[in-house]
Structure 1
Amino acid sequence: MKIAKRMENLSPSVTMAITALGRELKAQGKDILSFSAGEPDFDTPDIVKQAAIKAIQDGHTKYTAVEGITETKKAIITKLKKDHGLNYNLDEIIISNGAKHSLFNLFQVLIEEGDEVIIPAPYWVTYPEQVKFSDGVPVFIETDDTTGFKVTAEQIKAAITPKTKVLLLNTPSNPTGAIYTKEELTAIGKVLEGTDILVFSDEMYEKIIYDGKKFCTAAEVSDDMFQRTVTINGLSKAVAMTGWRFGYLATPQKNLVKAMTKLQGQVTSNVNSITQYAAIPALEGEADATIEIMRKEFEKRRDISVEKFNAIKGISCLKPDGAFYLFVNIKELTFDSMKFCSDLLELKGVAVVPGLAFGTEGYFRFSFATDLDSILKGIARIEEFVNENY
């Protein structure tokens, strides 16, 4: 049977593929340490679990409105007001099956053939694939260690063409952990003034911030940025709810929400009803104490991991301001990150993701969302691998 041509341009997720391979090798009895998945090793907070149990017991097991139940949307509105001083209405919010689903819906309803989407690199592996699947053209702006893996307003200005429709920002970033400051976002906003370019701001890791830094959302820096920004977020990372599949977006562009609701209604309908009720206490701050415990542990792991990596000859690593990844520089050793990571998995049983998957060669992504003992063992094996092969 011939597969539809549209699938030819869609690449499989490298992160998912490496994670699956690691699990397969482990199931075969091999000693595998995996640092490839972006999934917290913590359990979902009890307050969320109890809300889910209550939802089941209360009979909230039927279809809901496609765009989400009112109570959960109100909790999202409250969260955005409390955290960032932003005001949204119910018809400016839509709940989807994870932030990945929110983004897919956005691109499908907005992007037409030839439309350009500016994407800073390194980027999350899904961004360019979804743009291409929507017949759009990803336009990459390169960054590296010297710029803190962040693009400047000047770089964005230079990348804009008459076909530019969207600027996609990810802060804190997957895979680098880079965070855009209020000043940087304000400068970007100034460049966009007078254009019709929308900003898609993926803020999935906003609660995982280190060194006392304060997170700033793109939508809060000016009224102009508020009007053009689509904020995408969810509970997978900070609240350890990866399997629950809860994502949402907020935008004053009501026509976008309406179009997405129409599309979602024909594809998935509503998000799992139990998940929507379970999300309410997390959105309203009742899980904040647990989130802080996780954040502190991530920060501890980050500090130790960065120190250990920077002690390995030929390797360097910036200390990220957020998220739970290190984007490790191996340019002194090789620019072939795929071979480096493949050999590392085969010879030492350590799974990490090549920088090539994120659009930037000479690096690999290391997730420290796992226990410290495994992290120390993994980095020790990486050091052995480097000493023996480079």
Structure 2
Amino acid sequence: MNELLQKATLLKQASFDIAMKSTKEKNDALLLIADALIEQTPAILTANEQDMAAGRAAGFTDSLLDRLQLTEERISAIADAVRQLTKLDDPIGEVVEAWTTEHGLNIETIRVPLGVVGMVYEARPNVTVDAATLCLKAGNAVLLRGSTSALHSNKALTAVMKQALDQSSLPTDALQLLEDTSRATASEMFKLNDYLDVLIPRGGAGLIQSVIEQSTVPVLETGVGNCHIFIDESAEKEMAINIALNAKTHRPSVCNAAESLLIHRDWPYQQELMSVLQAAGVEVRGDEELTRLYNNIIPASEEDWGQEYLAMTLSARLVGDTREAVSHINRYGTKHSEAIVTENDEHADLFFRGIDAAVLYRNASTRFTDGEQFGYGAEIGISTQKLHARGPMGLKAITTVKSLVRGSGQIRH
């Protein structure tokens, strides 16, 4: 039996065990994991440096290296997020609805674990802990399949978590890392319907599309982020500049960073915004009008409007009104996160009604599209699809429901 089938078999059996565990048992295990991450930080960083050295040798971009890197501060933040999960309500057993039928049947719909979750992700080793602990809190077993670029980091993090689980009442087998990162094994994983209940891809467009196209296991689709900031003609100057700057530069390598800027043609502070962005190191690729009006703006190509740069690059265009902005975003956006900066209630309402996306903002940065920022604790990903879950996916997104029917001898005639 190969590694994949061996670990999938262990996971399936463990999923029945962990589904029966109490909230206290799950929280106690998570606290052990958080403590172990802090205690084993030096070993984790040593493993991460192996991945970083290989990445530098392979010529990884700065944004990719940033996603790959772990630091003492980042591990501390990861551990804090695990502790935060223990403070969140356990969704398992929650009564979603209850009623009595005309035949006297008492019916309850309650939340239950999905079962075995398969996570397929790239580069970011923090996802290893986020995904594992979210799944365990929601009573799921989890199969982690990270990328080759983060293998040493992922192995170290998984080993630390499994050692912590050994000291808890949760089944250690409920957490497995697939160390074989070959494409052939990934393709086999995508078809393990007898073992996996759902697949969640998290990464670039190529990875996500590959999983969607190849998988026979149901997919909870996360999406890439070509996020927009639209500055309306009524936008307050400092607010608009601060939001655009934050959304682009706070952490450009993540999916909720802004990639495209739309500016009302009559907003009077365009020059200052361009200057601030460029002073911060942002390369602006503009439409013909912006390129003609302002210095140091690179002409944008058609491909730029749909690009997720994950870098200090931003496409920019002047528009005539809110409807034109809405039309542009619906054409080129990825249904992730979109923002309008405006003092006009009517324009804000039109923006909210007109755009098809998981999260819409008025007068705030797109960088808030995040499970922790939404109060969900760590997130399993940002869903841009419309079935089952949408937006930041916290604990409830990785549960399903079942109905409990209590009768007193009723038969159907």
TM-score normalised according to structure 2 size? 0.25
Which of structures 1 and 2 has the bigger CA Rg? 2
Greater strand proportion: 2
State the structure with bigger RCO (CA 8 A, min sep 6), 1 or 2. 1
TM-score normalised according to structure 1 size? 0.26
